[in-house]
Each structure stands twice: as structure tokens, then as C-alpha cells.
Structure 1
Amino acid sequence: MVAKITKQTQFDAIIIGAGACGLMCAVQAGYLGKRTLIIEHNDKPGAKILISGGGRCNYTNMYASAAQFISQNEHFAKSAFAQWTVEDTITFFETYGIEGAEKTLGQLFPANGKAKDVVQMFTDLCDQLEQGLWLDTRVTDVAKNEDESFTLSYERYGKVSTINTDKVVIATGGLPISKLGATDFGLRIARKFGLKIVETVPALVPLTITGKQQSWYEQLSGSSIFCRVWNEEISFDENILFTHWGLSGPAILQISSYWKPGESIYIDLLPNQSILDIINNEQRTNSKQLLQTLLSGLFTRKFAEALGLYLPITKNLATLSKSDLETIDNLIHNFKVTPAGTKGYDKAEVMRGGISTDELSSKTLEAKKVPGLFFGGECVDVTGWLGGYNFQWAWASGFVIAQHI
């Protein structure tokens, strides 16, 4: 879709990036009678929307608030979330025929649709509201002019050209995932204008295990267990998934956003029960039962056998010593893992860090040092949990910016 806009002066703003933030910004600007142009370097809009939630798009979370976001300023997102609430997101989607269905933990998915329907909704609205969308177009530079306007240099259809505008919105996302066209464009433009950047790292990302322990994880590849995973900052009760290179699954992705290289994380393999209470009860009625048999009833046989590396699984319950019981209790409820690293940006859901919130107005998301330049979505130092939180930030930041361009 390319809107029929012939004069550059018809644009109130140019939005770089046709992801969740950029699309929402264009639509909300259209509601206000503003004309925008979205410039996207991919050949289709909403690349990350299309793959989110396994192609179903977990488009918000019913419990989203600033508390589920990581930022050097924990209060920064509060203004945006007050201006555009979860209820606003739900109503917006319902207005255009996308009803939400809760999966787990407040995650909302389209009840009778998929991610492509979400993208189609936005592109249809952009068309109806006469918002421009240029695909296969790469912005190479953003320059500030003496009259406070901006000149964007871009490549389109093999030609190099420029376009002028009074307002620029950077909604280019973060560094994950390169095959979807992820770049550091937003960070580069921020640095060009002298804005501080909070160090970026992969977040919501699988963790790797190397060395002598790797083979133990490899043998369990594909096994999934409901656990409590925690570190000194936070804990999450969700499934973990063993892989041939380490650990993944919702709980691991969540804790990865709070993990730093060299640190350990801890796993309670039986978060809602006490392994010692279970053993004590079984000792009264079935003391000759092997520990392996008991563990096979709590986990899978495969996992119970793997625990033999650490536990005396061939002993029967009656012969477990006090030392054995301490070892069992510690391993089941405080399983220590020291990851070697992460799977990197190409396997990460989002990026932690980004443009420092110190540089932006929390009420407008405009750069304090560069009037007319706005940043929204993932490129800002606001990183949400797994489960629709990052989409809520994208919608909210897009809405907020639209009010001020």
C-alpha cells in the first residue's frame, strides 16, 4: 500500500518503522486529522507482529502495568500507560472485530484470528485514514536543519533521495531478530544527536550451558517441567524447557531479562509441594519403594533417571540417610544453574536497554535535546515481561507520540 501523497508538505510527521509502535502511531495520528508517512525497509509491515505468539499475536496482557517492565527509570512508563491503558487496547481491537481470548496469566490473543489479521487491521486503517506507507524503503540518515525541520535521506527502488518533515518518529524496534530486518538504526540516530544509550543485551532469551554439564541437559532435550525460577531480584512460576544447548521455556525467558553474565539462577523443581513431606508420607506406607520410582511419579521417568547423576535414586526410601534427605531437598527445591550465556539477539524476543529515558519526556516521548524527534517502542529503555507486555508498551508509546506530532 502506498498512499497517494504527492507533496512533502502534506506530512505532519514521518514515522520510521512499520512495527507495532509505528502502525499504532500512524492510526492514532489519522484519527486526529494528521497525515503521516510510515517508511519501512522490509517488503511488508509488522514483521515481528506476524511471528509473535506462534503466529497468533499475544497483543496485550490484562495485568500490564509499569511494574512488569525493566528500565533504569522504573516510573517512566507510567505516564504512557495512564494515557493508553490495557482497556483502551482491548476496546480498540474489539472495535475492529478482534475479540480477545485469555490464554494464561492474562495473555490476550485474537479469539478467532491470527497475527496477520492484526497487521491487516492496521494497514486497512492506515489506508482509510490516508496515512502513507512506503515499503522496501531504507532511511539512511536523519539530519536537523537550521529551521528546526528534518531531512531524511533514503533509498527506494534503487534511487537515493531526501524528504523533509517537521516531526520524525523513530519506531524501528530493537536488535532482535536480524532475519526480520532488525537493525541498530534507532540507536545510531540517538547517538548522532548526542542522546545517552543504556547498554543493550538480549532479553527474553534462552540460556546456554557449556562444559561438563552440557551433556546432562542434552539428554533431557524436549523435557518440560513446571518450576519456580528465581534470582536475587525476582521469581517466576512457569514451565522450563530443557534443550540440547541449555534451558528455554517461559520461566527461563522471563528470568533471562534479569540475568547478568556470571550469575547463577535457582530452580524449584517442585514449587507447590515439599519433597521431604512426600518422602516422609511414602516412608510410612511404602518404605521399600525406590527413590527413582517416587521421583518418576512426580516428574517423568526420563527426568527421574537423569537425577541419578545427583541423587541416590537406587536407594529405597527406608535407607535414605539424613545427608541423603538434605541433598534431595536442596537439589529439588534449590537446583543451581550457572548459565554460560544466552542464545543471542537472533533467539531473543526483545532487547533490554536502549535510548535512555533521561533523554525523553515521559509525557510525549519527544527527545528533550531535539525538538520534533520522538522515540517509541523497543528502541527505548523500557523492556517488558513475556506475555503481551511489550506490545502494550508499543501501542501506548505509539498513541502518546501521535498526540504530539
Structure 2
Amino acid sequence: MDADAIIIGAGACGLMCAVQAGYLGKKVILLEKNDQPGAKILISGGGRCNYTNIFAGDEQFISANKHFVKSAFTQWTVADTISFFETYGIYGKEKTLGQLFPDGKNAKDVVAVFTSLCADFGQRLICGAQVMDIIVDEGSFTVKYEIGGKTKTLKAPKLVMASGGLPIPKMGATDFALRFARGLGLNIVETAPALVPLTITGKDEDWYARLSGNSVFCRVSNDRIAFEENILFTHWGLSGPAILQISSYWKRGEVFNIDLLPGQQMGSLIEAERKQNGKTLLSTLFNRHFTRKFTDALAKFLPVEKQVAVLTKAELENIEQIIHEFKVKPAGDKGYDKAEVMRGGVDTAELSSKTLECRRIPGLFFGGECLDVTGWLGGYNFQWAWASGFVIAQNL
């Protein structure tokens, strides 16, 4: 045997697994397709790396089994993540909604923590390694990979699949983990892009495009969930944090609502303005809450140049509905090229939630994004990656 375990993928999960295995005196070999480890870590948060969220718990994750992540998050908590990085000089600074970023440091420093520790523990990191085949025997796993035009072979009693999901193909993302699992007869929960911008086509396409660049703080909701954050109009449709969040809960053909003025009632604002100055134009009132460009765009749906005193009951009802229940029916999404993560993946029913080991194939583990575990925007998916890497290492 060449090592105690072979880890496929040196992303967040694979790197944490290698380091935690090192603490336990276990030797692993990481095979990374890219020419450097931590590719998605390096681009996360615009290179700043939102490495966890202080509010992370099982309720912010989507999975066919909503309870699956509980065991991992008990074994490796947010406090553990914070403590781990602080030990190596990375201190968190909260930005918004619990998002922690390295204070005065960046994503490169996060990756450097892992590469330095891997070197200290003598863990082998092989980059530029394209895995060609994995042979599963009783009691061992043989991995054939290509590097520099040569085919090489490694053998170990344990195998960790941490090769990620489908988003951002230009960063080397592939369906390798899914194909491997499917080839072993494991069930795959249907996959789709998640945390992804949504596209608008048809009669309203130009309306959205003309607002490109405008950002509005909103409450975006459907019958399952709601998020209050900014939305961003783009030349293809909608993006911004609130849209990325709702996209994970959206399916093609569905409609969701946008409350353009959360926490306030436009009807009450109009009524108050009528008492103070009935000659005020609706556009003037809107301009106190929206950009002038956005107010002008609302003219397509609302009588913005009418005085508030003369608005009819029907017009008032329409204003309330447009402002607080603006209906959006996206045509689709921007796909894996622009998605932050993947929804779906290897069915969690195939694994032990306590160890992340495959029930049917002892010694085989799955962690990180290739599993049917999808977190919210804002450091949640990193917390899952660290936790799953830790859990697997304890059981190698």
C-alpha cells in the first residue's frame, strides 16, 4: 500500500481531510487535477474567501435528507473552524449576515495554511494529476492517473472522493465523482446549478436589461422560503445575493415574489403623503425609496406621474401588489459556468451520516460538494467542506 488513504481532489474538503489525517498520524496522498490546490478557495469571495458563517447549522442546507448534516456539524462546529484558522494566524472579520472573512488576509493565506500543514505532516500532494480509472477491490483501491503524459498507479485501503461538483468548468470542475459513484451502482440525486443568476426572456427581457446595474434591497420569497438581501438587475435578468439564495429553491417554470420595499407598507406611505401633501406625485414618493432610474422603469406598470390624492382604489391595490408582490418567472439560469455550487449529487442515503463512509463499499468515503448537500450563500458550503473533511479523517 502506498498510503493509508488516497484523496481525490485537493479542494476545501480534501485539504482539510489530509490535514486532520496528519494530526492522527495517518499518511494520505492527494491527487489534484489542477496545477495548484484549492482552486475554488482562491476565487471565493473575490479572492477574499468567506470561509465560514457564524450561523451555520443544518437548517441552511438543502438535501433529500435534511437531517444528514447534523452529525458532521456536531463533530466539527463553526467554533472549531474559527479556532482552527486562528491557530494558524487567520482571524475572522464578520461582514454581513454572519459571513466571516480573513481579517487582513485573503484566500491565498487560507490555502497556504493547508499546504504548509500537509508539508509538515509529510502528506503527498500531487497536482496536475488526471485520474483515469479507479479499481475497487475488497480491502483496497487502485487509482490510475496521468501526469506529464505518463500513467502512474497508487494503491491504498481507503479512498476519499472529494473532487467537487459541476460548477465552474473552467476551474477544472467535472462530473467525475458522480460518474464514479454511478458506476458503482450508487444512487444520484438529480443535479442542477445552485446559487446561480437567473435569466429573463420574452416580453419583459428589455425591461430588466434597461435596469442593468441597479441594485435594490428586497425580500425574495416563494412558498418554501424567503431571503432579505440585495437583488441586482443585469442585462440577462437578475443576480445579487437574494437571487442567488432563492435560485437554490427554484425550479424551471416556477414563479417567485419580490417585495421591493420590505418592512414598510406602500399603502400606508401613500396615505400619509395624502394627508401631508396630496399633490405629491407618486414618482416623487418612489424616488425617496428607489433610484430615479428604477422609478422611471416602474412607469411601465404604475401611474407614477399621478398625484397621490387622485389615485383610485384599483390603482392603490395595483401599486401595493407591484411593490410588495412583484412576480418573477425566470426562463432559466446561467448554468454551471456562473453557479457557486451544485444542488443534488451522491445520495446521502448511500452513506453513514456519522462517518461519511459508503454503506455498501467499506473504505470508500464521499465529502464536500459531490454529495447531495447544498448550503446557502455566505460561507455555509465551506463549513460543510471543513466538517466533512474532518469527519472522514477520523474514520480513515
Same fold (TM > 0.5)? yes
Distance of 2:174 and 2:26 partners within structure 1: 28
Amino acid at match of 2:44: S
TM-score by length of 2: 0.99
Tell me the equivalent position of 1:22: 14
Tell me the equivalent position of 1:182: 173
Distance of 2:246 and 2:6 partners within structure 1: 36
Distance of 1:238 and 1:368 partners within structure 2: 40
Give CA-to-partner distance per residue, 1:174-217, whole Å, 9 cap, x none. 00010100000100110111100000000000000001100000
Among candidates 45, 60, 67, match of residue 52 of structure 2: 60
Distance of 1:141 and 1:85 partners within structure 2: 35
Among candidates 104, 107, 117, match of residue 115 of structure 1: 107
Among candidates 233, 244, 249, match of residue 258 of structure 1: 249
Tell me the equivalent position of 1:128: 120
Cα displacement (A) at 1:366: 0.6
Give CA-to-partner distance per residue, 1:244-297, whole Å, 9 cap, x none. 000000000000000011000100000011001111111111111111111111
Amino acid at match of 1:96: Y
Tell me the equivalent position of 1:48: 40
Tell me the equivalent position of 1:375: 366
Distance of 2:207 and 2:319 partners within structure 1: 18
Structure 1 vs Structure 2 CA RMSD:
0.6
Distance of 2:283 and 2:247 partners within structure 1: 31
SS at match of 1:328: helix
Distance of 2:164 and 2:136 partners within structure 1: 22
Tell me the equivalent position of 2:64: 72
> Does the 8 A contact of 2:2 with 2:156 survive in 1?
no
Tell me the equivalent position of 1:6: none
Which aligned pairs between 1:5-404 and structure 2 lie closer than 5 A? Answer: 9-145=1-137, 147-404=138-395
Cα displacement (A) at 1:162: 1.7
SS at match of 1:44: coil
Amino acid at match of 2:119: D
Distance of 2:118 and 2:165 partners within structure 1: 23
Give CA-to-partner distance per residue, 1:51-101, whole Å, 9 cap, x none. 101110000000000000000000000000000000000000000000000
SS at match of 2:30: strand
SS at match of 2:390: helix
Distance of 1:341 and 1:238 partners within structure 2: 21
Cα displacement (A) at 1:161: 2.3
Cα displacement (A) at 1:28: 0.1
Distance of 1:161 and 1:388 partners within structure 2: 36
Distance of 2:288 and 2:56 partners within structure 1: 37
Amino acid at match of 2:87: T
Amino acid at match of 2:106: K
Distance of 2:9 and 2:125 partners within structure 1: 10
Give CA-to-partner distance per residue, 1:142-169, whole Å, 9 cap, x none. 1112x42111111011011221111000
Amino acid at match of 2:265: S
Give CA-to-partner distance per residue, 1:272-327, whole Å, 9 cap, x none. 11001111111111111111111111100000000000000111111100011000
SS at match of 1:347: coil
Distance of 1:101 and 1:400 partners within structure 2: 26
Structure 1's unaligned 5+ residue stretches are 1-8
Distance of 1:332 and 1:376 partners within structure 2: 43
Q: What is the percent sequence identity of the aligned residues? A: 67
Distance of 1:237 and 1:196 partners within structure 2: 35
Distance of 1:383 and 1:143 partners within structure 2: 29
Distance of 1:43 and 1:286 partners within structure 2: 66
TM-score by length of 1: 0.97
Divergent runs of 4+, >3 A: none
Structure 2's unaligned 5+ residue stretches are none
Amino acid at match of 1:374: F
Tell me the equivalent position of 1:4: none
Distance of 2:290 and 2:365 partners within structure 1: 50
Distance of 1:103 and 1:137 partners within structure 2: 37
> Does the 8 A contact of 2:2 with 2:154 survive in 1?
no
Amino acid at match of 2:61: F
Q: How many residues align?
A: 396
SS at match of 1:267: strand
Cα displacement (A) at 1:243: 0.3
Cα displacement (A) at 1:127: 0.4
Distance of 1:366 and 1:101 partners within structure 2: 34
SS at match of 1:232: coil
SS at match of 1:311: coil
Distance of 2:153 and 2:107 partners within structure 1: 33
Distance of 1:366 and 1:194 partners within structure 2: 15
Cα displacement (A) at 1:10: 4.4
